[in-house]
C-alpha cells in the first residue's frame, strides 16, 4: 500500500486514480521491457542497459525494480531503446536547467517544462519520430517485434504531419487529450 494519502475528490475517484496509476505503470513496464529486449538483441546486456536507463531520462519505477524475478521478466518481454540514447544528452542538459529530474506533459503541472510553455523548447517531435524510426528499424533487423515502438512512431509521425514537428514531443498529451490541462 502507498504511504501517501492524496485527496482525489468524490466517491470512486480513489479507484479511478489507482486505475490511472496502473495504466501508466503498465505502459511504462512495457516500454522498459521493449527497451531491454531490443538492447539485448543489439548486443547490450540487460544489466548495462538498466544502469544506463536508471541514470538518464528513462529512469522510472519499472526500470529501478531490483527483484531478480521481475528483472528476468523484463528481459524476456519486448523492445525500445534507441529513443533513450538519442534523447539522453538533451534531457540531461534540459533537466539540469530546470533543476529537476522530472518531466511532465500536462500544461500547468510543472513550471519551466515545455508543456507549460505551449510545448516550446524541449526535444522536438520530429526528432522523436526520427529516433522511433531508428528504433523500429533496428528491431526489424534483429527480427524483434516492438508494438509500442511501432505505434509510437506512427503517432509521432502523424503529429509531424499535423504541424507539431517543432514542438516538444510531450505535445502528444494535448494532441490526444485536449482540454485536460492542469487548472
CATH number of domain containing 105:
1.10.1040.10
pLDDT at 114 over 80: yes
Q: 79: Cβ–Cβ under 8 A, 6 or more apart, which residues?
A: 33, 34, 35, 37, 38, 41, 135, 139, 144, 145, 146, 148, 149
How far apart (Å, rounded) are the C-alpha atoms in residues 38 and 50? 12
8 occurs within a structural domain = no
183 occurs within a structural domain = no
95 occurs within a structural domain = yes
Q: Give the CB-side neighbour count of residue 154, counting CA atoms within 13 A.
A: 5
- The per-residue pLDDT for 60 is 72
Grid cell 522498459 in the structure block, residue = 32
Q: Grid coordinates representing 12?
A: 470512486
pLDDT at 163 over 90: yes
At 44-94, the pLDDT tens digits run: 887 788 778 778 877 776 666 544 444 444 444 433 434 444 444 444 444
* Local structure of residue 168 (DSSP, 8 states): B
What does pLDDT average to over the chain? 73
7 occurs within a structural domain = no
2 occurs within a structural domain = no
Give pTM, 2 decimals.
0.61
Count of domains forming the chain: 1
At 122-161, the pLDDT tens digits run: 889 999 899 888 888 888 888 988 888 888 899 899 999 9
- Which of the two residues, 83 and 21, has the higher pLDDT score? 21
CA-CA-CA-CA torsion sign (181, 101, 80, 2): negative
- Where in the sequence is the domain holding 43, given as residue range(s)? 13-176
**Active site positions, annotated:** 18
* Local structure of residue 101 (DSSP, 8 states): S
- The per-residue pLDDT for 89 is 44
Amino acid at each position: 500500500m502507498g504511504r501517501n494519502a492524496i485527496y482525489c475528490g468524490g466517491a470512486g475517484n480513489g479507484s479511478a486514480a489507482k486505475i490511472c496509476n496502473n495504466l501508466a505503470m503498465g505502459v511504462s513496464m512495457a516500454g522498459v521491457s521493449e527497451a531491454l529486449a531490443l538492447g539485448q538483441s543489439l548486443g547490450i546486456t540487460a544489466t548495462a542497459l538498466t544502469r544506463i536507463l536508471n541514470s538518464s531520462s528513462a529512469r522510472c519505477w519499472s526500470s529501478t525494480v531490483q527483484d531478480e524475478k521481475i528483472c528476468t521478466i523484463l528481459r524476456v518481454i519486448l523492445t525500445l531503446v534507441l529513443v533513450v540514447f538519442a534523447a539522453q544528452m538533451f534531457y540531461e542538459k534540459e533537466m539540469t536547467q530546470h533543476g529537476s529530474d522530472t518531466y511532465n506533459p500536462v500544461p500547468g503541472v510543472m513550471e519551466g517544462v515545455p508543456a507549460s510553455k505551449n510545448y516550446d523548447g524541449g526535444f522536438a517531435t520530429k526528432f522523436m519520430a526520427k529516433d522511433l524510426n531508428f528504433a523500429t528499424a533496428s528491431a526489424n533487423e534483429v527480427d524483434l517485434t516492438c508494438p509500442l515502438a511501432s505505434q509510437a512512431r506512427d503517432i509521432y509521425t502523424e503529429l509531424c504531419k499535423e504541424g507539431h514537428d517543432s514542438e516538444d514531443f510531450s505535445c502528444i498529451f494535448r494532441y490526444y487529450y485536449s482540454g485536460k490541462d492542469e487548472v
